[in-house]
Amino acid sequence: MSTTGQIIRCKAAVAWEAGKPLVMEEVEVAPPQKHEVRIKILFTSLCHTDVYFWEAKGQTPLFPRIFGHEAGGIVESVGEGVTDLHPGDHVLPIFTGECGDCPHCHSEESNMCDLLRINTERGGMIHDGESRFSINGKPIHHFLGTSTFSEYTVVHSGQVAKINPDAPLDKVCIVSCGLSTGLGATLNVAKPKKGQSVAIFGLGAVGLAAAEGARIAGASRIIGVDLNSQRFDQAKEFGVTEFVNPRDHDKPVQQVIAEMTNGGVDRSVECTGSVQAMIQAFECVHDGWGVAVLVGVPSKDDAFKTHPMNFLNERTLKGTFFGNYKPKTDIPGVVEKYMNKELELEKFITHTVPFSEINKGFDYMLKGESIRCIITMGA
Ligand code: NAD
Ligand code: ZN
């Protein structure tokens, strides 16, 4: 391509300050260095993690920064040593990576790569610590190694999943993060058998994706638990069959669920981030075989407390990061599930905005109106 090896000037939505609207700027994007690829982003979507770090409450603020980590695009050029990706490949950049060479990448059981595991504090590229983005020579920080709120971005090749070029990028871009987290928590970790019951705690995007996993696995009952009853109507479209709002009951939700299910659910998936919900999700599974999976990110000082007898009675507690998917190896397969109509993505996409109106996407998320808002880069 004519741009190979050149600086590309393009539009990016830059966060100059915590909590302040993003500003459309012309940025310079340097060519990819060793083990990096430069990607033309076509669609990106907005996830809570972008909003948390943009608000920068409780995190080390790092500004100016280009956020964004759920996206789909096309490889424009590749840096030295990149052999598995080529210009023109359709790809999803992923916030966590797979170097292919560490004990985690060699293990079938782990996706927590030593080199490319999520790092929210890093503002530059691993290769040299520098940023590939600048405005008039002033560097702009990266976010999660992806920074997809830019028409072009540079990403480590270990964080790039090459997907079926026939897959519509305006839909499959959401597979990059929240969707795979919830889906994988159910399909890869909770692993319900056909006909089993599954409780999902928290019916946000991640919980709804976990419910989608339960639907795909053929669960007979999917019990949604949320403190916000407004989530229930929407969740019906995701195959959730029954609802429990802990606030409607004066007994513990574990007991409510045990009574509904003749002793407990077969599987539960916690997608709230509340430690109370984590304990409830564990204690509501059936003894003898029940498995609970934690997905939500707890607060710093939280502690999980339960009686050890709950384990002796043969309940299992697990946790998962990114649904146990290895980004490069497994994510193309999730896209295939959509292509062969096993996985439904359309119902997650509630809003679409042109790139110039990206701040509207933040408003929808802050008001809790959207599950996923797709941002169209060319528009
Ligand atoms: P969200 O805020 O959209 O949804 C969370 C839902 O949980 C809300 O509807 C809320 O009402 C409900 N809730 C909160 N406390 C509850 C309680 N005690 N009992 C029942 N319901 C309760 O969030 P999301 O984007 O769907 O993300 C869910 C969680 O997953 C977050 O903690 C997020 O940080 C985490 N997450 C984890 C991973 C991972 O790899 N483990 C990846 C992405 C997100
Ligand atoms: Zn690795």
Summarised one tens digit per residue, pLDDT across range 289-331 is 999 999 998 888 999 999 999 999 999 999 999 999 999 999 9
Give the model's pLDDT for residue 57. 81
Which residue spans of the chain are classified as CATH 3.90.180.10?
8-174+345-376
Measured CA to CA, the distance from residue 127 to residue 305 in angstroms comes to 42
Distance 39 CA to ligand 2 centre (A): 22
Give the model's pLDDT for residue 340. 98
- String of b and e for 294-307 (b: at least 16 CB within 10 Å)? bbbebeeeeeeeee
pLDDT tens digits along 80-119: 999 999 999 999 999 999 999 999 999 999 999 999 999 9
Distance 124 CA to ligand 2 centre (A): 19
Pocket probe for ligand 1: among 228, 234, 271, 350, the residue whose CB has the most ligand atoms within 8 Å is 271
Residue 346 burial (10 A CB sphere; 0-12, 13-18, 19+): exposed
Asked if residues 375 and 365 have their Cβ atoms less than 8 Å apart, the reply is: no
Q: Which ligand is nearest to the CA of 368?
A: 1
Closest atom of ligand 1 to CA, residue 202: 7
Measured CA to CA, the distance from residue 120 to residue 147 in angstroms comes to 12
Q: pLDDT over 70 for what percent of the chain?
A: 99
> What's the rounded mean pLDDT across residues 31-35?
98
Task: Show Cβ contacts of residue 174 under 8 Å, excluding neighbours closer than 6 positions.
Answer: 45, 70, 345, 348, 349, 372, 374
Q: Give the three-state DSSP class for 189.
A: helix
Give the model's pLDDT for residue 143. 96
pLDDT tens digits along 204-216: 999 999 999 999 9
36 — phi, psi (to 5°)? -120, 160
Q: Which ligand is nearest to the CA of 115?
A: 2
> What's the rounded mean pLDDT across residues 174-198?
97
Q: pLDDT over 90 for what percent of the chain?
A: 94
For residue 311, count other CB atoms closer than 10 A to its CB: 12
Give the model's pLDDT for residue 300. 82
Distance 350 CA to ligand 1 centre (A): 18
Measured CA to CA, the distance from residue 138 to residue 187 in angstroms comes to 45
Give the model's pLDDT for residue 1. 64
Measured CA to CA, the distance from residue 194 to residue 125 in angstroms comes to 44
> What's the rounded mean pLDDT across residues 266-292?
98
> What's the rounded mean pLDDT across residues 22-28?
98
Measured CA to CA, the distance from residue 348 to residue 174 in angstroms comes to 9
Which residue spans of the chain are classified as CATH 3.40.50.720?
179-320
CA angle at 213 for the pair 210 and 218, rounded to the nearest 5°: 135
Measured CA to CA, the distance from residue 119 to residue 156 in angstroms comes to 13
pLDDT tens digits along 145-182: 999 999 999 999 999 999 999 999 999 999 999 999 99
Q: Is the pLDDT of residue 58 over 80?
A: no
Task: Show Cβ contacts of residue 360 under 8 Å, excluding neighbours closer than 6 positions.
Answer: 353, 373
Task: Show Cβ contacts of residue 171 under 8 Å, excluding neighbours closer than 6 positions.
Answer: 338, 345, 346, 349
Q: Give the three-state DSSP class for 181.
A: helix
Residue nearest to atom 36 of ligand 1 (CA): 296
Q: Is the pLDDT of residue 66 over 80?
A: yes
Measured CA to CA, the distance from residue 221 to residue 188 in angstroms comes to 19
Give the model's pLDDT for residue 368. 87
Catalytic residue IDs: 47-49, 69-70, 99, 102, 105, 113, 117, 177, 372
346 — phi, psi (to 5°)? -55, -40
Closest atom of ligand 1 to CA, residue 48: 25
Measured CA to CA, the distance from residue 287 to residue 175 in angstroms comes to 34
Give the model's pLDDT for residue 379. 66
Q: Is the pLDDT of residue 124 over 90?
A: yes
Per CATH, the number for 8-174+345-376 is 3.90.180.10
Closest atom of ligand 1 to CA, residue 273: 32
Asked if residues 111 and 348 have their Cβ atoms less than 8 Å apart, the reply is: no
Give the model's pLDDT for residue 28. 98
Per CATH, the number for 179-320 is 3.40.50.720
Residue nearest to atom 7 of ligand 1 (CA): 202
> What's the rounded mean pLDDT across residues 232-256?
96
Distance 343 CA to ligand 1 centre (A): 21
Asked if residues 244 and 174 have their Cβ atoms less than 8 Å apart, the reply is: no
Measured CA to CA, the distance from residue 355 to residue 362 in angstroms comes to 12
What is the CB < 6 Å shell around ligand 1?
A: 48, 178, 181, 201-207, 225-228, 231, 246, 271-274, 276-277, 295-297, 320-322
Least confident of 89-103, 277-291, 365-379: 365-379
Radius of gyration of the chain from its Cα atoms, rounded to whole angstroms = 21
The model's confidence at residue 61, banded by pLDDT at 50, 70 and 90, is confident
